[in-house]
Every structure is written in structure tokens, then in C-alpha cells.
């Protein structure tokens, strides 16, 4: 055991990747710098628990903050490597990630220091350290191409995008995708998606290739979410989209279906950022819009908004109408209908559940309002989108 722990220490020294060793799920060894100690200890503990609870030989996980981990399970030992991040977090990225939480400036700065103390290893780069960890733990050599092989007959693939999308992206292409999302560059994203992949084939459960591809997708959604928030998309919308895409991908029955969701996800995040960048409002109006997006499931009073943005109700009503060409009441309804459209398109929730989720009291009222705003019924919208 002492020899193993020494080898683990050398792995940490050479890679900079934080590493923990568990025996029967109890921590027996840990290597990381003081600055890499998680700020959100409860969330970190939950992530570690998920990794330790898996019976798979190899398990990957990406946290809600975009931190990447993998765990190798052998006999009674588990080695957990991570967290790492895909890119350096700018201050605004950290602020956006923590949006909606009442945190002091000093706590936000602590998060920023923590994220920027983590080594930069995107999932495909982090995966390349797997063979070494497995060798240290088991004494066996694993070829990474065999570990990550996706058993798909590419001869039968008709779409060029589908033919290449079963691969995880190289670091360069991952960077290009992230930058396209952050910049809202829809045309650039389309060009990236049809260019050949040069990364290793995708991941992580050698006995279940489709599950592997879905695991890759979940990692990509987290990266896209963070990039979109950094690009100016409000975090509530970004996380709603992320959850919807993950649910939709999880129900897919083939690689082709997951690939379609992959492309749809990258393009949707990019388009949403593009729209967000085009919108220029005064601070009170922007704050009101952000408040509505966060509280559309609740009853929103004009007095609450007025107090939130620190101007009179009449001033806010006039300002909002002049800049959006619709009243606050109509914008609240519009926001609920837009959220309903996402849920209809990307999830399998029933119409009655969606009605309740977007704060309508009864389904008939929801259907009438939906048709008024979209010229179609919720059922028709779901069936043809």
C-alpha cells in the first residue's frame, strides 16, 4: 500500500491533478494544494459520493460548476482524480455561475481563486491520464484507444457530421466550440460542426458504447452551459436548457439520435447567446427581465419588481414598455410560454406537468394562452418540433 501511495504522489506531482485514494469508500490518502480545496464542500462531497457509489471500473463526472473528475474502481480501492476545468474561469464567468445565490464579495472571490487554482484538463485531455492511473492501481496496461472505443459501424453512417461526431473533440476544437458559443457565432459554429474531428473516440464505459456517448454528451452540455453564461446568457435559461438537453439525450436509443441532440444543443446555446448580445436595455429593465426569468414560476407583482430595481412603479412600467414594446404583464406571459416551448420540445413531461411548471393554474387556460402566442396548440407544437 505504501508503494502505491508513493506512486500516486508522483502522479500528482507530475500532472498537477488532485487525487484521492479510498478504501471501502473511506478516504485514506489525498494530494492537492491548499488553494484547490473546494469552497462548496457540500456539493464537492456529493460529487465524490456519486463517483464512489458507481460499480463501474471507470466513472466520469462533470459537476454543475464544470469541474471534471474520473474514478477508477479496483477491488476495495477507489482512486478519484480531479477536479480539473476545461479553461480558465474569468471573473464574470464565476459571477454568472453563482448567480441567484446571496454571497458576499469575499466568498465570490474565494470561488474565483479556487477555480483558477485547478489544473486545466478538458475531458479528452484528462482521459489520457487514465492508463497511468490504471497501471499504478492494477499493474496492468490499458490501451486508451481500446478503453474509449465506440463500437459503431461507420460504414453505415450517411451523414458526415454523424460520421465524425462519435469522437470527442480535440483540445483545439473544444476551444473553438467554446469560443463560438461565448461569442454567439452561429455561422462559425456550423462550420466547426461539419469539420472532421481529430480527438480520441468517445468514452467511458467500454461495455456500453451508447452510454459512453451519452456520458460524453453530458460533459459537453456542462461546458456549453458555462460558455453560454460567460457569453451573457442568463444562468436560469442556460441551466434550464442544459437539463432539458440531458433529459432528451438520456432517452435516445441510438448514436444517431444522440448526435442530432449534440448538434441541436451546440447550435441552440450559440443562438441564445447571439440573441442575448443583441439586446441592449437600461439597467432597471435588464434587472426586471432577469428577475422575471428567475421567478416566472411564481406570482410576480409590479411592486416587487419596482422594489427590486429601485424605481417607481409608473417609471418602470413606462420604461419597460418603451424598450420592449410590450407590457411587463405580457412579458411575464411571454416568458412562461417560451419556457413551455422548451419543455415541450426537449422533455417528455406531460402537458399537465408543463402547465404547472410554467405557473398556469389549469390546462385549458394554458392551451388558450399558448395558442394565442404561438398560433398553435401545445400538443401540435410538441408533435411537429
The string of DSSP letters for 45-69 reads HHHHHHHHH--SSEEEEE-TT--EE
pLDDT of residue 158: 31
Same domain, 153 and 269: yes
pLDDT at residue 162 is higher than 50? no
Same domain, 7 and 127: yes
pLDDT of residue 169: 53
**51: number of Cβ within 10 Å:** 22
pLDDT of residue 86: 75
Q: What is the mean pLDDT of the chain?
A: 82
Distance from C-alpha of 264 to C-alpha of 260, rounded to nearest angstrom: 6
Q: 21: domain CATH number?
A: 3.40.1840.10
Same domain, 118 and 51: yes
Among 3-12, 24-33, 85-94, 349-358, whose mean pLDDT is lowest? 85-94
User: Does the CA dihedral 141-147-152-154 come out positive or negative?
Assistant: negative
Number of domains in the chain: 3
Q: What percent of the chain has pLDDT over 90?
A: 34
pLDDT at residue 370 is higher than 90? yes
Q: List, for residues 330-345, the tens digit of each pLDDT value.
A: 999 999 998 899 888 8
Range of the domain at 208: 148-278
On whether the CB atoms of residues 224 and 239 are closer than 8 A, the answer is: no
Among 263, 278, 293, the domain-final residue is 278
pLDDT of residue 332: 95
Same domain, 268 and 289: no
> Mean of the pLDDT values across residues 268-281?
84
Distance from C-alpha of 173 to C-alpha of 198, rounded to nearest angstrom: 8
End-to-end CA distance of the chain: 57
Residue 143 domain-assigned (yes or no): no
Same domain, 6 and 134: yes
Tracing cell 436509443 back to the chain, one arrives at: 253
Amino acid at each position: 500500500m505504501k508503494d502505491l501511495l508513493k506512486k500516486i504522489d508522483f502522479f500528482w506531482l507530475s500532472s498537477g491533478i488532485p487525487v484521492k485514494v479510498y478504501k471501502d469508500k473511506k478516504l485514506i490518502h489525498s494530494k492537492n494544494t491548499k488553494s484547490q480545496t473546494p469552497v462548496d464542500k457540500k456539493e464537492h462531497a456529493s460529487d465524490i459520493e456519486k463517483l464512489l457509489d458507481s460499480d463501474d471500473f471507470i466513472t466520469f463526472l462533470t459537476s454543475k460548476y464544470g469541474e471534471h473528475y474520473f474514478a477508477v474502481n479496483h477491488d476495495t480501492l477507489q482512486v478519484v482524480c480531479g477536479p480539473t476545468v476545461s479553461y480558465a474561469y474569468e471573473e464574470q464567468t464565476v459571477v454568472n455561475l453563482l448567480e441567484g445565490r446571496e454571497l458576499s464579495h469575499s466568498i465570490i472571490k474565494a470561488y474565483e481563486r479556487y477555480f483558477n487554482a485547478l489544473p486545466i484538463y478538458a475531458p479528452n485531455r484528462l482521459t489520457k491520464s487514465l492508463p497511468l492511473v490504471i497501471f499504478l492501481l492494477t499493474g496492468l496496461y490499458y490501451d486508451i484507444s481500446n478503453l474509449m472505443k465506440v463500437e459503431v459501424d461507420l460504414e453505415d453512417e450517411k451523414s458526415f457530421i454523424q460520421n465524425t461526431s462519435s469522437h470527442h473533440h480535440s483540445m483545439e476544437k473544444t476551444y473553438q466550440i467554446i469560443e463560438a458559443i461565448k461569442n454567439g457565432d452561429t455561422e462559425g459554429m456550423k462550420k466547426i460542426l461539419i469539420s472532421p474531428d481529430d480527438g480520441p473516440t468517445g468514452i467511458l464505459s467500454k461495455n456500453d458504447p451508447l452510454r459512453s456517448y451519452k456520458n460524453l454528451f453530458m460533459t459537453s452540455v456542462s461546458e456549453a452551459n458555462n460558455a453560454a453564461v460567460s457569453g451573457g446568457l442568463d444562468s436560469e435559461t442556460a441551466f434550464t436548457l442544459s437539463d432539458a438537453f440531458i433529459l432528451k439525450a438520456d432517452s435516445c436509443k441510438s448514436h444517431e439520435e444522440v448526435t442530432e441532440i449534440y448538434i441541436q444543443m451546440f447550435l441552440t446555446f450559440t443562438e441564445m447567446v447571439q440573441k442575448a448580445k443583441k439586446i441592449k436595455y437600461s439597467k432597471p429593465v435588464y434587472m426586471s427581465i432577469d428577475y422575471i426569468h428567475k421567478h416566472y414560476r411564481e406570482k410576480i407583482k409590479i411592486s416587487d419588481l419596482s422594489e427590486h430595481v429601485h424605481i417607481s412603479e409608473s417609471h418602470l412600467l413606462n420604461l419597460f414598455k418603451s424598450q420592449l414594446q410590450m407590457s411587463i404583464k405580457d412579458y411575464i406571459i411571454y416568458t412562461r410560454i417560451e419556457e413551455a416551448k422548451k419543455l415541450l420540445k426537449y422533455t417528455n413531461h406531460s402537458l399537465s406537468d408543463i402547465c404547472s411548471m410554467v405557473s398556469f393554474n389549469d390546462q385549458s387556460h394554458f392551451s388558450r394562452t399558448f395558442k394565442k402566442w404561438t398560433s398553435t396548440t401545445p400538443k401540435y407544437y410538441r408533435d411537429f418540433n
